[in-house]
Amino acid sequence: MNGIQFENVSKYYKEGDNTFIALNDVSISVNPGEFVAVIGPSGSGKSTFLSIAGALLQPSEGNVTINGVHLSDLKQKDLSKLRLEQIGFILQTSNLVPYLTVLDQLLVVKKMKGSITNEDKLFAKELLEEVGLGDKLKKFPDQLSGGERQRTAVARAFMNDPNIILADEPTASLDTQRAFEIVELISKGVKSRNKAAIMVTHDERLLKYCDKVYQMNDGNLKLLEEPVAVR
């Protein structure tokens, strides 16, 4: 099955005689073309959930499957390969490389896999056009606004044509208007390129762009509603 699935996933930590439960028996399935939001207070387990989804953290119990592959079956080298090829990350800050142009921010992702082809350059330009940066290809991060830097990060997340997009508070550093623009861009990319996407956010105004909304509380995940996503 394509997309990402959690099956009875728990994560807990031992502290002396005490056990701290970060995730408690979480099950969720996100299919290609689906944009899901996870909301909840700080310390509720959202970051642990996203780290496990991104193959950065191993669960204590349960199974995580990406495109039919059980992550528990993979060695560290294979997990690194999977993160590079199948998961696109969008973080709170754009995390751009200061000395690379906007175009090269995307091409460096391809460079990590090997050589860069002409097709790669065309695809990078296409992605940047889609996020409204077609005229900024040769600009450096310090020449961009905060919204433009985050648009670059959105385009970069799609560069390896991954199956999964994970966004961790992608609008935290933006004003309201820029926040809406960024999440709308993510939503359009998810739909047009048929990706399975999960966004962790505190901003409930952004939920109208999502297909499903889950609440995380004390490590427990619950489906709240299924809003009509903006197309």
The single-letter DSSP state of residue 27 is: E
What is the per-residue burial (b if ≥16 Cβ within 10 Å, else e) of 157-186?
bbbbebbbbbbbbbbeebeeebbbbbbebb
Instruction: State the Cα–Cα distance between residues 222 and 142, nearest whole angstrom.
Output: 41
Contacts of 5 (CB under 8 A, 6+ apart): 28, 29, 30, 63, 64, 65
Of 213, 217, 229, 222, the C-alpha closest to 27 is 222
CATH class of 4-95+158-225: alpha beta
Instruction: List pLDDT tens digits, range 76-99.
Output: 999 999 999 999 999 988 899 999
Domain boundaries of the chain, sorted by first residue: 4-95+158-225
The model's pLDDT over 55-79, given as tens digits with 9 standing for 90+, comes to 999 999 999 999 999 999 899 999 9
The reported pLDDT for the residue numbered 228 is 47
Is a pLDDT exceeding 60 seen at residue 13? yes
Residue 173 has pLDDT above 90, yes or no: no
User: Is the pLDDT assigned to residue 117 strictly greater than 80?
Assistant: yes
Whether residue 107 has pLDDT greater than 60? yes
**Averaged pLDDT for residues 138-160:** 96
Give the pLDDT confidence score for residue 5 in this predicted structure. Answer: 97
- Describe the strand order of the beta sheet including 61-66 as a list of residue ranges: 18-30, 4-15, 61-66, 69-70
Query: Is 230's pLDDT higher than 70?
Result: no
This prediction has a pTM of 0.94
